[in-house]
Structure 1
Amino acid sequence: MTYDISAASVGQPVPGPFMPAPVPPNPAAAVSIRGLVKAFDRKVAVNGLALDIPVGSFYGLVGPNGAGKTTTLNMATGLLRPDAGSVMILGHDVWSDVNRAKREIGVMPQGEQIFDRLTGLQLLVYAGMLRGMKRDEVVRRAHDLLAAFDLKDAAGKMVVDYSAGMTKKICLATAMIHSPRILVLDEPFEAVDPVSSANLRDILVEYARTGGTVIISSHVMALVEKMCTHVAIVNRGQVCAAGTVDEVAAGGELEDRFMALVGGRHAAAKLDWLDGGAGSGPAAPDQPTAPGQPAVPGQPAASGQPAVPSQPAQTPEALR
């Protein structure tokens, strides 16, 4: 079922005569988050967030810009230390043994976070050997991934020369090279062409069917609704609702449910000057000078008005 995150679920005191016990982390979940908090200076990015992500799920994390999605994922994957709260990966506390947690997960880097002066093949081999894999095995897997992501012809090309879509795919491949149990992907389909997107979705869906857990952060509701089995709507650093896609959508469209929970939508702004040319008619013909207005020098005056005599053109000497 869907649920709204309350103070009880993040272990905070609840006013009233009853004081429910804090909800403990779920060791059976792929990811179990409780009371996660992170602030930057005086701005709270994540505010007591709690969430359980089931093993084998294709989980979508959605929310407006600045909702705290990326910050939450960074803390859950050991990239950013939280100010408070706990994160458990497959039953083990992340911050008690960060290296152990990182061995279980694959995080897709952003384009600016990779060594783009390596070729595609070199980058994958480097990523695999960094994980402690044997060279022969990582080379075999690298060629498999390059073929699966339609990058075989670009294996010997430097990543800096890849297109945006190709870069996105090679970044995803680096996250998968060590066959992690959990994949964490931030906007994985951005700038990827439709054919490649379909191939990537097939690979990820098959990975989830084998027991792997996929967590994606995305702004595209249609993609989340189509691909994901579960979804959490995040706003202002907290989970508004979470559950299966059907449960969160509550019988309607996921996007409509998202708007209802997050708010912020307003009527289109009316800009008088932005008319797409619809308000522009043919140029008006020249009009005679209105009575009481000075005539243009050298032109006949309007009826009843004295003419303004023409003035000789000034020479450079006259301007001195």
Structure 2
Amino acid sequence: MIEINNVTKDFAGKKRAVDQLNLTIPDGKIIGFLGPNGAGKSTTIKMMTGILPIDQGTISLNGFDIEKNAMDAKKIFGYVPDRPDMFLRLKGIDYLNFIGDIYNIPTEIRRKRITKLTQLFSIDHALGDYIQTYSHGMRQKIIVTGVLIHEPEIWILDEPLTGLDPKSAYTLKEMMREHANKGKTVFFSSHGLEVVEQLCDEVAIINNGKLLFYGSLDDMRKQYESNQSLEQVFLELTNNE
């Protein structure tokens, strides 16, 4: 479970990025986090993962406060950032072993997980190459693989499908569903509203740092007394802000 309580974030000389955000993400569901560019999605995710400090409020992951119990919280989530251009001077296998070392994954278990995941994402042939030689899609796959090898309870994914080929995107979506079906948490942001509509159990819509809606698509249709698609409701909500 992810609990975001009265969270606010300001940047000097700019408008408030996140404004008293309250959001409780339950276990066992895939939650889509939506909003136009500059709405506060990535800022929220970076506070959830401890990358950015929280100005006001608290965020906890499975009961661990991300600021007060940072190490405990960081052990239980996996984070895919919106840009995969990291650790470019490492070879793919060195990056994955580096992640394995951080999470103290035993060698034999690590080897099996790396083999399984890299074959699923069709990058097993490139593990001996430097990440800087990878295409954008391959970089995304190696980052996703690194996130998953320690089998975190909570997945926090910022635009995880960007750059993935159809087969790999399908594989990741299937893995997200399997993870949620095990009673774990999947929280991901996306601009692909059709994907969110097909995949997510619930959606949270944010704009100008404020939560506009949180609930299932059925809840949305009841609240707005409409049979419109998620795309249509999303555009109406964000255009009215």
TM-score by length of 1: 0.70
Q: What aligned pairs does 1:239-250 form with structure 2 within 5 A after superposition?
A: 239-250=211-222
* 1:75 corresponds to: 47
Task: Say whether residues 1:111 and 2:111 are aligned partners.
Answer: no
Alignment of 1:1-320 (within 5 A): 30-43=1-14, 44-109=16-81, 110-112=83-85, 114-250=86-222, 251-263=227-239
Question: How much does 1:180 deviate?
Answer: 0.4
Pairwise CA distance, 1:135: 2.9
Secondary structure of the corresponding residue to residue 17 of structure 2: strand
CA contact (8 A) 1:185 1:217 kept: yes
Work out whether residues 58 and 214 of structure 1, in 8 Å CA contact, stay in contact via their aligned partners in 2: yes
Distance 2:66 2:134 in 1: 34
Partners of 2:218 and 2:142 in 1: how far apart?
32
Consecutive unaligned residues in structure 2, runs of 5 or more: none
Contact kept, 8 Å, 1:231 with 1:248, in 2: the verdict is no
Conservation of the 8 A alpha-carbon contact between 1:233 and 1:258 = yes
SS in 2 for 1:191: coil
Out of 144-153 and 248-257, give the one that drifted further: 248-257
Ranked by relative contact order (alpha carbons within 8 Å, sequence separation 6 or more), the top structure is 2
Instruction: Give the Cα separation in 2 of the matches to 1:249 and 1:200.
Output: 28
State the secondary structure of the residue aligned to 2:10. Answer: strand
Structure 2 residue matching 1:111: 3-state secondary structure = coil
Q: For the Cα contact (< 8 Å) 2:4–2:59, is it kept in 1?
A: yes
- Deviating beyond 4 angstroms after TM superposition, the runs of 4 or more aligned structure 1 residues are none
Query: d(CA) in 2 for partners of 1:230 and 1:120?
Result: 34
What's the offset of the Cα at 1:54? 0.8
Q: Distance in 1 between matches of 2:57 and 2:141?
A: 33
Given that 1:181 and 1:213 are in contact with CA atoms closer than 8 Å, whether structure 2 keeps it comes out as yes
Gaps of 5+ in 1: 1-29, 266-320
CA contact (8 A) 1:120 1:157 kept: yes
SS at match of 1:170: helix
Q: Would you say the 8 A contact 2:120–2:168 is kept in 1?
A: no
User: C-alpha distance in 2, partners of 1:61/1:242?
Assistant: 9
- Higher share in helix: 2
Instruction: Provide the rounded CA distance (Å) in 2 between the counterparts of 1:91 and 1:152.
Output: 36
Supply the RMSD in Å over aligned alpha carbons. 1.6
- State the identity as a percent: 36
**1: distance between equivalents of 2:152 and 2:119?**
19
Structure 1 position 264, deviation (Å): 6.4
Match of 1:40, SS?
coil
| Displacement after TM superposition at 1:132 (Å) | 2.3
Q: Tell whether the 8 Å contact from 2:38 to 2:208 is kept in structure 1 after alignment.
A: yes
TM-score between the two structures when normalised by the length of structure 2: 0.92
